[in-house]
Amino acid sequence: MRRNWWRWLLLMVMIAVIFVPSVAWMHRRVAKYKTVYRTPLNPTILIPGSSASQNRFDELITELRKETKVVHSVLKVKVAENGQLSYTGSIRKGDNQPFIVIAFDNNHDGYSNINKQAAWLNIAFKDLVKTYHFNHFSALGHSNGGLIWTLFLEKYFAQTSRVDIDRLMTIATPYNMESASTTKRTDMLNELVKYREKLPAKLTVYSVAGTENYSSDGTVPANSVNQGKYVFQNHVAHYTQITVTGDQTTHSDLPQNKQIVLLIRQYLLQESIPAKDRAKQTVNRRALNGDPDLP
Amino acid sequence: MGLQRGLKGLWRLNQRTSQWRAVWAIKEALRVAYPFILVMTIIDFVGQSFLAGSGFFFQIYHVGTWLPGLETWRELFQAVSTVVNGVVAVMIAFITGHYLARTYRSDAIAVGVMSALAFLTLNVNYQALGQTDRGGDQLTQFVEGNLGPQGIFLAIVVGLTVGWAGSRLMQALRKLQLRHPKWQLSWTGRVAWPLALVLLITTGLGYGLSWVSAGGLNGLVYQGLSALVTNPGHRGLMILGVTALNNILWWLGLIGPVSLAGNSSVTSLQNLAYAVQHGSGWGAPNPITLHTLGDAYANFGGAGMTLALIIAIWIGSRQTSYRRVANQTFLPNLVNLNEPTLLGLPLLFNPILLIPFVLAPAVNIVVAWFALTWKLVPPIVYPVPRTTPGPLIAYLGTGGDWRALVLSVICLILSVLIYLPFVRLLNDQGGDRDAA
């Protein structure tokens, strides 16, 4: 009987020595997974500018697909004025870097409309997260699409906890609307500046401007794009401004401009671009407070 | 009683096979190899579970934060482990050949060395032979992985074949000498000629195989099995079949085609992503996989639920050697390193223990399958270290679901009950050659 008693004691000690610390370890691990775990699914969400439909980026995506080794799937979401979502396309199983295009039924320009579109984006975004279980993504906005993204990040993004945005690239986004002035701020810029503290601190932003001449891309004044620094600089981790000149630099051509396609691949999708492609780049890049480690 | 008659038949089979000289030679080889494997495994136990960054005890006790000179410790344990681990199969080839030659009353040491050399020629890295010394990344001379535990099966086959052929050749030469007294052949000649012949054949064989597979004969077998085994899909029956096949292969000494590696498969990552967002594994997209069934509930102690075997021995065995092996190998079994148990009892090539070795994991998989499909337990979703004690894998992998712990305990008890009659059956075996 005495021997048995020892065995039970040994069992108890073993349980105490192994079980208790392992449970503590497990809780820490699970908590850590919930905070730092990044899902393999890492979509790139694209928003077109005003007056453009969910098919706006078809040309860009064809261009991207042509040059990337892996073919990525495309999902398109259209948000009606009452917040109803209609999906076309799908995310292929096993494709971890799909493209998602979000467009709006009411796609008109204007301060109040863009604010509404940011709210609609919030509805679509929440639904996407709920359906596809990703917890980080990258964003691309063309023209006013960049404004919608910025408003969304400032006003609504905090509602979706546990999801991080890695990178945002805006192409010819007029942060000061149509104004070419460097001193007078429009309502839009005032609002963006007012809430800039709410921007995700770890975000990396690339703002790409195209210029046909020294002052604009034909639609958006270069000065309006430049005003983005008052929104992002020192409020996100990295803010980099890039100006593309040359062929195909009118406002509507920019998303399929060869240089910009390369920039999207290199910065937003973080592909390693072959040296021969990189050599083609003749952009005038101006890093404001960029990461020295970035290529 | 049918069961009793079955057990009796099994017992007779066991008695008959243990009289075969091949089986005797294998058992002797495993008996001699056991202490070496035991030492190696205890070193691995410390190295893999306490010192390695992915080790279970390393993580739960935060060894990295308080042990000074961690890197030095790691390197020391690595060094010892490499030495023993690296040549265990060569040792077994030698001993098997040696003991078989003894039964033929041949020159046992010479034949043993012959077997070891023959085994090595089958595992020469033929791709490395052409390279001249240009510095840089040199290929190793031998396919090193095959000289460790995963080469045991091939070592036994080579040991038996060369042991037999070598002994016969040497005997033939001796007879020839008696018939032609003028034609004298020294001891050297009697060893050298068979050795030359054996090496010629095995080198040819090894070279020929190197065209087919880079890992030698062993590599070929493992490639075939891994392809079959790595992706059993979602179907329960397929998983059951693959696990059973895997366990039979372990029993033969083909150690390791499937291991607790399912942490990183696509289905496991999908489950993890789901759990991270929903807070638990309930409703995860892939509830039935080799990982959620086999790794979680049918792998306590390693392949074949050997942790249950050890408990069954503690409860029901009167064999001193068995009890000793159980005591000595309990700690390694706790972290799923069961090679010494397999070699020490020995379980390898033991027809009586083969049945529970295959049956216990199979029953556990079926039980776990029902529990998962009836949604009594959630699937394991969080990765756990390879060296996590078996009964805790499911509990920790589900993020602390007590039902998973209960199921683990049920699986452990079931397996002990499955092992127990077979362990009792072995009580009647003559304990003349105590292993430990």
pLDDT in tens, A23-48: 999 998 888 887 778 887 889 999 99
Taking an 8 Å cut-off on Cβ atoms, the answer to whether B399 and A26 are in contact is yes
Question: What's the rounded Cα separation, in Å, for the pair A224 and A217?
Answer: 11
Question: What's the rounded Cα separation, in Å, for the pair B110 and B190?
Answer: 10
Q: What confidence score (pLDDT) does residue A282 get? A: 42
**B322 has a chain A CB within 8 A of its CB:** no
Q: Is A25 a domain residue?
A: no
**How many CB atoms sit inside 10 A of residue B1's CB?**
7
- Strand-pair partners of A77: A87, A102
Element (H, E) at A170: strand A164-171
Task: Work out the mean pLDDT of chain B and round it to a whole number.
Answer: 83
Digit-coded pLDDT (tens) for B124-164: 877 766 655 555 555 677 777 778 877 888 899 999 999 99
Nearest to residue A282, comparing CAs of A260, A266, A267? A260
DSSP reduced 3-state for B386: coil
**How far does the CA of residue A118 sit from the closest CA of chain B (Å)?**
24
Question: What's the rounded Cα separation, in Å, for the pair A177 and A50?
Answer: 12
Nearest residue on chain A to B397, judged by CA atoms?
A: A26
**B56 has a chain A CB within 8 A of its CB:** yes
Digit-coded pLDDT (tens) for B226-269: 666 555 555 777 788 878 888 888 888 877 655 544 545 667 77
pLDDT at residue A112 greater than cutoff 50: yes
Q: What confidence score (pLDDT) does residue A151 get? A: 93
Nearest to residue A172, comparing CAs of A135, A147, A199? A147
Q: Is A269 a domain residue?
A: yes
- Single-letter code of the amino acid located at B119: F
- Domain span at residue A203 reads 44-287
With bands split at pLDDT 50, 70 and 90, how would you rate the model's confidence at A277?
low
Beta strands A284-287 and A204-211 are unpaired
Q: What confidence score (pLDDT) does residue A275 get? A: 63
Mutation pick from B276, B384, B392 vs chain A, by most beta carbons of A within 10 Å, is B276
Q: What confidence score (pLDDT) does residue A288 get? A: 37
Q: Is A24 a domain residue?
A: no
With bands split at pLDDT 50, 70 and 90, how would you rate the model's confidence at A293?
very low
Q: What confidence score (pLDDT) does residue A149 get? A: 94
Give the residue, A198 or A274, on which the prediction is more confident.
A198
Element (H, E) at A87: strand A85-89
Nearest to residue B287, comparing CAs of B378, B391, B398? B378
Tokens of B265: 């498969």
Question: What's the rounded Cα separation, in Å, for the pair B258 and B303?
Answer: 9
Taking an 8 Å cut-off on Cβ atoms, the answer to whether B400 and A30 are in contact is yes
Q: What confidence score (pLDDT) does residue B369 get? A: 93
User: Per-residue DSSP letters for B73-134?
Assistant: HHHHHHHHHHHHHHHHHHHHHHHHHHHHHHHTTS-HHHHHHHHHHHHHHHTB-GGGTS--S-
Beta strands A284-287 and A238-245 are antiparallel
Question: What's the rounded Cα separation, in Å, for the pair B297 and B407?
Answer: 8
Question: What's the rounded Cα separation, in Å, for the pair B334 and A22?
Answer: 14
Q: Is A65 a domain residue?
A: yes
pLDDT at residue B1 greater than cutoff 70: no
**A136 has a chain B CB within 8 A of its CB:** no
What is this model's ipTM?
Answer: 0.78
Taking an 8 Å cut-off on Cβ atoms, the answer to whether B392 and A22 are in contact is yes
Q: What confidence score (pLDDT) does residue B229 get? A: 59
Instruction: Give, in order, the Cα–Cα distances in Å from A98 to each of A69, B275, B316, B412.
Output: 13, 21, 59, 44
Element (H, E) at A104: strand A99-104
Q: Name the residue with tokens 């579970």.
A: B49
Nearest residue on chain B to A162, judged by CA atoms?
A: B277
Taking an 8 Å cut-off on Cβ atoms, the answer to whether B61 and A21 are in contact is yes
Question: What's the rounded Cα separation, in Å, for the pair B78 and B118?
Answer: 28
End-to-end CA distance of chain B: 36
Exposed/middle/buried for residue B102 (C-beta within 10 Å: 0-12, 13-18, 19+): buried
pLDDT at residue B360 greater than cutoff 90: yes
**A41 has a chain B CB within 8 A of its CB:** yes
Q: What confidence score (pLDDT) does residue A276 get? A: 59
The CATH number linked to A229 is: 3.40.50.1820
Q: Is A14 a domain residue?
A: no
Of the given ranges (A77-91, A197-211, A248-262), which has the lowest mean pLDDT?
A248-262
Q: Quick one: chain B helix, strand, coil %, rounded to 5?
A: 70, 0, 30
pLDDT at residue A207 greater than cutoff 90: yes
pLDDT at residue B115 greater than cutoff 70: yes
Digit-coded pLDDT (tens) for B391-405: 999 999 998 899 999
Question: What's the rounded Cα separation, in Å, for the pair B73 and B55?
Answer: 14
Q: What confidence score (pLDDT) does residue B414 get? A: 95
Nearest residue on chain A to B381, judged by CA atoms?
A: A30
Q: What confidence score (pLDDT) does residue A291 get? A: 35
**B359 has a chain A CB within 8 A of its CB:** no
Task: Work out the mean pLDDT of chain A and round it to a whole number.
Answer: 84
CA B357 to chain centre: 12
Question: What's the rounded Cα separation, in Å, for the pair B312 and B294?
Answer: 21
Q: Record the pTM.
A: 0.75
Q: Dihedrals φ, ψ of A290, to 5°?
A: -70, 165
Q: Percentage of chain B with pLDDT > 90?
A: 28
Q: Percentage of chain A with pLDDT > 90?
A: 38
Q: Is A153 a domain residue?
A: yes
Find chain A residues with C-beta within 8 A of B275's C-beta: 33
Q: Where are the alpha helices (DSSP H) in B335-401?
A: 339-344, 351-373, 390-397
Q: What confidence score (pLDDT) does residue B225 get? A: 66
**How many CB atoms sit inside 10 A of residue A282's CB?**
9
CA B31 to chain centre: 15
**A11 has a chain B CB within 8 A of its CB:** no
Q: How many domains does chain A have?
A: 1
Q: Quick one: chain A helix, strand, coil %, rounded to 5?
A: 45, 20, 40
Q: What confidence score (pLDDT) does residue A41 get? A: 83
Q: Is A162 a domain residue?
A: yes
Nearest residue on chain A to B267, judged by CA atoms?
A: A94
DSSP reduced 3-state for A86: strand
**How far does the CA of residue B343 sit from the closest CA of chain A (Å)?**
26
Residue B229 CB partners (closer than 8 Å, separation 6+): B242, B245, B246, B257, B258
